[in-house]
Amino acid sequence: MAKGSGVDRTENARKMLEEAVEKFSQTENWQQFLKGMRSFHKYSLNNQWLIAVQREDTHWVKGYRAWQDLGRQVVKGSEAIWILAPRPYTKEREDGTEEKKIAFRAIPVFAYEDTEPIEGFENPWEPPVRQPVTGDPEAAQRLLDSLFAYTAAQGIPVVIEAKKTSAGGSYTPADNSIWLQPYDPVEQARVLVHELGHAATYKTLTEGGKPYDYSFGEAVAESIAYVVCGEFGIDTTLASVQYIAVWDADRLRETASIVKDACSALFDWLDRELGEEAREDVAA
Ligand SMILES: [Zn+2]
C-alpha cells in the first residue's frame, strides 16, 4: 500500500474495495445468487425476532413456494417457523367514509436447513460460503488487545460467547454493547472492527430521527473493517467484498465520508497505543 497521510491511505483502501466490489458484483453467478439473496432481508424487525426465537440456528428463511422458485424443496415433516404478514383492509365508518386498517395473519416459512435441492434445477440457491480472512495471528492479537483497551476506555461492553448462529458478532445500540463469537484472532479482529464500525457510526446514521438503514449500515461497518484490518496486515478482501455485495454494493460510494471519519478515530487510538510503526511496517 502506498505510504502517505492516514487520510490518503484510508481513501485509497476504500477505493480499492469499491472497485473490487463492483467487479465482483458484475459476475454472472453472483448476480443470480443476489436475486435470491436480496429477498431475505425484507423481514421486519418483529419478524426477525420471531424467527430468532423459534429457530436460532438459521439465517435463511422463506415460504414453501418461494423456496421452490429458488430451486429448493422443503423436506417433508419440517417444522414451520411462524411470522406475521400484514394484510391491509378497508373498513367503512358509520358516516359512510372509508378507513384503511392493517390486520396481521401468521404465515409459515421454512429454514434453509430444512430444504434440499430440486433435482434438475439449474443452480439451486446456496447460502454464501464464508470467505477466509488471512493475516499473522500474533499481529492480529496485538490489534485485538489494543481494540479491547479501546472498548474499555469508550465504555463499550464486549462479551465473547459461543452462540448457535452463523453470525460472528453483533452490536446492540440500546446498551452500546458488542457480542463476539469466539473465533481465532485473525477472524475475530475483523468481526470486532466491523462491530466497532457499527458503534462508531450508529449515531450519524440515525441523526435527526432518521430510521436506521440496515443494509447501508452493514456496508459502512464492513468498509471500516476492510480499511482498518488492511492497515494491520489482515486481508479481509474476499470476505468484505462478498459481504458488501450482499448488502449495499450500489451505495458504497456514499459511505466514503462516514467510513473515513470512523477510521481516522480508530487509527488515532491505535497509533497512540501501538505506535504508528505497527501499521507502517506491514503496509510497507
Ligand atoms: Zn454488521
- For residue range 175-214, list pLDDT tens digits in order: 999 999 999 999 999 999 999 999 999 999 999 998 888 8
Percentage of the chain with pLDDT > 70?
89
Residue 170 alpha carbon to ligand 1 centre in Å? 6
Residue 114 alpha carbon to ligand 1 centre in Å? 26
Q: How high is the pLDDT of residue 54?
A: 81
Residue 81 lies in a domain: yes
Question: Is residue 129 pLDDT above 70, yes or no?
Answer: yes
Q: How high is the pLDDT of residue 38?
A: 63
Residue 249 lies in a domain: yes
Q: How high is the pLDDT of residue 3?
A: 45
Sheet architecture: strand order including 98-111: 61-62, 98-111, 81-92
Residue 165 lies in a domain: yes
Residue 264 alpha carbon to ligand 1 centre in Å? 19
**227 CB burial (10 A radius; 0-12, 13-18, 19+):** buried
Under 8 Å between Cβ of 225 and 131: no
210 lies in which domain range?
A: 6-36+128-283
Residue 199 alpha carbon to ligand 1 centre in Å? 10
Residue 230 alpha carbon to ligand 1 centre in Å? 18
**Do residues 167 and 274 both lie within one domain?**
yes
- The DSSP symbol for 255 reads G
**Residue 162 — pLDDT band, cuts 50, 70, 90?**
very high
Stated as kind and residue range, the H or E segment containing 90 is strand 81-92
Question: Is residue 147 pLDDT above 80, yes or no?
Answer: yes
- For residue range 75-90, list pLDDT tens digits in order: 999 999 998 888 888 8
Among 72, 90, 117, the domain boundary falls at: 117
Residue 180 lies in a domain: yes
Sheet architecture: strand order including 177-180: 158-160, 177-180, 169-172
Residue 91 alpha carbon to ligand 1 centre in Å? 41
CA atoms of 133 and 35, how far apart (whole Å): 26
**Do residues 254 and 279 both lie within one domain?**
yes
**Region 263-271 average pLDDT:** 90
Among 95, 117, 139, the domain boundary falls at: 117
- For residue range 1-32, list pLDDT tens digits in order: 444 555 677 888 888 888 888 887 777 766 66
Residue 195 alpha carbon to ligand 1 centre in Å? 6
**Do residues 241 and 109 both lie within one domain?**
no
Under 8 Å between Cβ of 70 and 109: no
Residue 248 alpha carbon to ligand 1 centre in Å? 12
Residue 232 lies in a domain: yes
Residue 123 alpha carbon to ligand 1 centre in Å? 28
Residue 198 alpha carbon to ligand 1 centre in Å? 7
**Which parts of 112-249 are beta strand (E)?**
115-117, 158-160, 169-172, 177-180
**Do residues 141 and 176 both lie within one domain?**
yes
Q: How high is the pLDDT of residue 282?
A: 52
For the chain, what is the domain count? 2
**Do residues 90 and 217 both lie within one domain?**
no
**Do residues 109 and 137 both lie within one domain?**
no
**Do residues 216 and 271 both lie within one domain?**
yes
- The DSSP symbol for 232 reads T
Residue 42 lies in a domain: no
Stated as kind and residue range, the H or E segment containing 36 is helix 28-38
- Phi then psi for residue 253, to 5 deg, are -60, -35
CA atoms of 193 and 178, how far apart (whole Å): 11
Cell matching residue 54: 423459534
**Region 39-60 average pLDDT:** 72
Question: Is residue 163 pLDDT above 70, yes or no?
Answer: yes
Neighbours of ion ligand 1 (CB under 5 A): 218, 221
- Quickly tell me which residue has 430468532 as its cell: 52
CA atoms of 113 and 78, how far apart (whole Å): 10
Under 8 Å between Cβ of 219 and 255: yes
Question: Is residue 65 pLDDT above 90, yes or no?
Answer: yes
**Do residues 194 and 91 both lie within one domain?**
no
**Sign of the alpha-carbon dihedral angle for 123, 129, 132, 133:** positive
Residue 181 lies in a domain: yes
What mean pLDDT, rounded, does the chain reach?
A: 85
Among 117, 145, 165, the domain boundary falls at: 117
Residue 169 alpha carbon to ligand 1 centre in Å? 8
Q: How high is the pLDDT of residue 120?
A: 94
Residue 46 lies in a domain: no
The answer for residues whose C-beta is within 8 angstroms of residue 161's C-beta and 6 or more apart is: 179, 180, 181, 182
Residue 42 or 9, more confident: 9
Residue 121 alpha carbon to ligand 1 centre in Å? 33
Q: How high is the pLDDT of residue 104?
A: 84
Residue 221 alpha carbon to ligand 1 centre in Å? 6
Q: How high is the pLDDT of residue 176?
A: 94
Q: How high is the pLDDT of residue 279?
A: 76
Cell matching residue 179: 457480542
**Do residues 69 and 202 both lie within one domain?**
no
**Do residues 138 and 257 both lie within one domain?**
yes
CA atoms of 222 and 147, how far apart (whole Å): 16
**Residue 40 — pLDDT band, cuts 50, 70, 90?**
low
| Max mean pLDDT range (23-37, 45-59, 217-231) | 217-231
**Do residues 99 and 230 both lie within one domain?**
no
Residue 194 alpha carbon to ligand 1 centre in Å? 6
**Do residues 209 and 250 both lie within one domain?**
yes
Residue 226 alpha carbon to ligand 1 centre in Å? 13
